[in-house]
Each structure stands twice: as C-alpha cells, then as structure tokens.
Amino acid sequence: MSAKISKKTNPKVVVRAKRKRRIRSGMEGTAERPRLCVFRSNKYLYAQIVDDVKAHTLASASTVEEEFRKKKVPNTIEGAKTLGEMMAKRALAKSVSSVVFDRSGYLYHGRIRAFADAAREAGLKF
C-alpha cells in the first residue's frame, strides 16, 4: 500500500486497508482475465479494468463523466447499477468478457453489490 497508516488514522480506514491488502494478495489481473477494481468515495464511484501483467488500464468508467451526468441518475444504488451496465458495455467493446472482481476492501453491500450485479447482468463474467 502506498498510504502510510499511523496510530492517528481512523480505525475504519485501517481495517479497510488490511482487508484490501489481504484480498489483493490473492488476485492478479491477466490478459485473459483482467481485474475489475472499484473505488467508492462519499460522492462518486469509479471503476477500471486493469491488466496487471502489462500494468495497463483497458477500460474505465465513473460517475463523474459527462456521459453519466447526462442520464441524470443520482450517485446511489441506481447510479451504481447504471455505472455497472456502462462498464460492462465498455469491457465487451474491448473484447473483455471475463474479469476478476476487486472490491478494494469494501464490503460486498450497497453500491458495490449493485455495481457488480448490474455488470454481471450486462454480460461480464466474474
């Protein structure tokens, strides 16, 4: 991890960082199955499909983009579903049909779960 964790760091941040490190140690994106990683902030949701062998981002989508804002969808579970569908379409356009889902230490709940379910329904295989 690039972020240094000190004693003054919020305990929730420390727990998520440990969970992220533990999850990420067992997964690696390849050319056949790249890694679909998600970052969730309080306001927005970001997603990337990454080939870890080449260290190359194949596709990305976020709720900050102009295309997402035109749809007038709020940054809630509905927005995460829309983003999941958008991410799956972009991945399939790049001929990526199977990915490894990296939730970045977030619990599989709420916006993360909605995003993953929508991406699966749109054609991505986890």
One-letter amino acid of 111: R
Domain coverage including residue 64 = 11-121
User: Is 6 within a domain?
Assistant: no
User: Is 1 within a domain?
Assistant: no
**pLDDT for 58-97, tens place per residue?**
999 999 999 888 888 888 899 999 999 999 999 999 999 9
User: What pLDDT sits at residue 1?
Assistant: 46
37 DSSP β-pair partners: 48, 102
How many domains does the chain divide into?
1
Residue 2: which pLDDT band, with cuts at 50, 70 and 90?
A: low
User: Is 42 within a domain?
Assistant: yes
User: Is 57 within a domain?
Assistant: yes
User: Is 86 within a domain?
Assistant: yes
* Residue 9, token pair as written in the block: 């760091």
User: Is 95 within a domain?
Assistant: yes
User: Is 2 within a domain?
Assistant: no
Question: pTM for the whole thing?
Answer: 0.83
- CATH number of domain containing 107: 3.30.420.100
User: Is 3 within a domain?
Assistant: no
